[in-house]
Amino acid sequence: MDAFTTLTGVAAPLPLANVDTDKIIPARFLKTIKRSGLGVHLFDTLRYDANGAERPEFVLNQEPYRHAEILIAHENFGCGSSREHAPWALLDFGIRCVIAPDFADIFHTNTFKNGILPIKLSREICDQLMDDAKLGGNARITVDLAEQVIVRPNGEKIPFEIDPFRKHLLLNGLDDIGQTLQHAPAIDSYEAKLRDEKAWMPAIHVD
């Protein structure tokens, strides 16, 4: 996973609530066995018509938003399926930060695991940032994770909250599995206790 420190880039406004993971990446594109290459299908139904031609009205088909690295949306972003293909598609397109009033839980977790920073801000502030984003390429937004601020094009700083543990992992690009394996002795003793106290719990063996 790539570390996330600061990011200055174009932000794309997507003023929709309840953007579900089927919208982010429809199920028909989940047949891959790889993580890469999904960016072309990001928001497939919104982005292309039935013949595969770009819908010019969709934000990511417009300049400068084709190069967006930040996405701003409305409530309950990422609801629905647990598919990590959703953050993979965002990342493959080039999006490293999503700003919304709130996120669905599983999507929220999945973004962190892929070096994407999800930022929760009030609907009012999201709308302000969306107005900034509508100014296009001259209105770049900076996200500084260490300082936990967003810098608007006019220089105004907007603070945001983030879980300290997740911040640490993101800033350093750390893989969780490596972190957890430091607790292997505790897992060993938990398992020893489990075999003793919950002997009824069957191990799975399939003939």
Partner 1 sequence: MARTLFDKVWDAHVVERLQDGTCVLYIDRHLVHEVTSPQAFEGLRMAGRKLRRPDAHIAVVDHNIPTSDRSLGIAEEESRIQVETLETNVAAFGVPYFGLNDARQGIVHIIGPEQGLSLPGMTIVCGDSHTSTHGAMGSLAFGIGTSEVEHVMATQTLLQKPAKNMLVDVRGALPPGCTGKDLVLAIIGQIGTAGGTGHVIEYAGEAIRALDMAGRMTVCNMSIEAGARAGMIAPDETTFEYVRGKPFAPKGEALEQAIAYWRTLPSDAGAVYDKVVVVDATKIAPMVTWGTNPEAVLPITAVVPNPADEADEAKRVQLQRMVDYMALTPGQKLTDLKIDVVFIGSCTNGRIEDIRAAATVAKGRKVAAGVRALVVPGSGIVKQQAEVEGLDRILLDAGFEWREPGCSMCLGMNPDKLTPGQRSASTSNRNFEGRQGPGGRTHLVSPAMAAAAAVTGHLADVREIV
Sites of contact with partner 1 (CB under 8 A): 16-18, 20, 22-23, 26-28, 30-35, 45, 50, 74-76, 79-84, 87, 102, 104-106, 109-110, 113-114, 163-165, 176-177, 179-181, 183-184, 186-187, 190-191, 194, 198-206
Toward partner 1, which CB reaches closer, 18 or 62? Answer: 18
Burial tier of 2 (Cβ tally within 10 Å: 0-12, 13-18, 19+)? exposed
CA distances from 73 to 154, 170, 185, 198 (A): 21, 22, 43, 46
> What is the closest distance, in whole angstroms, from the C-beta atom of residue 34 to partner 1 in the complex?
7
State how beta strands 97-100 and 117-120 pair: parallel
Toward partner 1, which CB reaches closer, 107 or 160? Answer: 107
> What is the closest distance, in whole angstroms, from the C-beta atom of residue 151 to partner 1 in the complex?
27
> What is the closest distance, in whole angstroms, from the C-beta atom of residue 27 to partner 1 in the complex?
4
Toward partner 1, which CB reaches closer, 159 or 184? Answer: 184
Toward partner 1, which CB reaches closer, 26 or 136? Answer: 26
For residues 81 and 98, give the distance between their C-alpha atoms in angstroms, rounded to a whole number. Answer: 18
Toward partner 1, which CB reaches closer, 83 or 140? Answer: 83
Q: Which helix (H) or strand (E) holds 46?
A: helix 44-47
For residues 151 and 207, give the distance between their C-alpha atoms in angstroms, rounded to a whole number. Answer: 59
Q: Which residues pair with 77 in a beta bridge?
A: 103
> What is the closest distance, in whole angstroms, from the C-beta atom of residue 78 to partner 1 in the complex?
10
> What is the closest distance, in whole angstroms, from the C-beta atom of residue 123 to partner 1 in the complex?
8
Toward partner 1, which CB reaches closer, 106 or 151? Answer: 106
> What is the closest distance, in whole angstroms, from the C-beta atom of residue 182 to partner 1 in the complex?
10
- Mind giving me the DSSP string for 95-164? --EEEES-B-HHHHHHHHHTT-EEEE--HHHHHHHHHHHTTGGG--EEEETTTTEEE-TTS-EEE----H
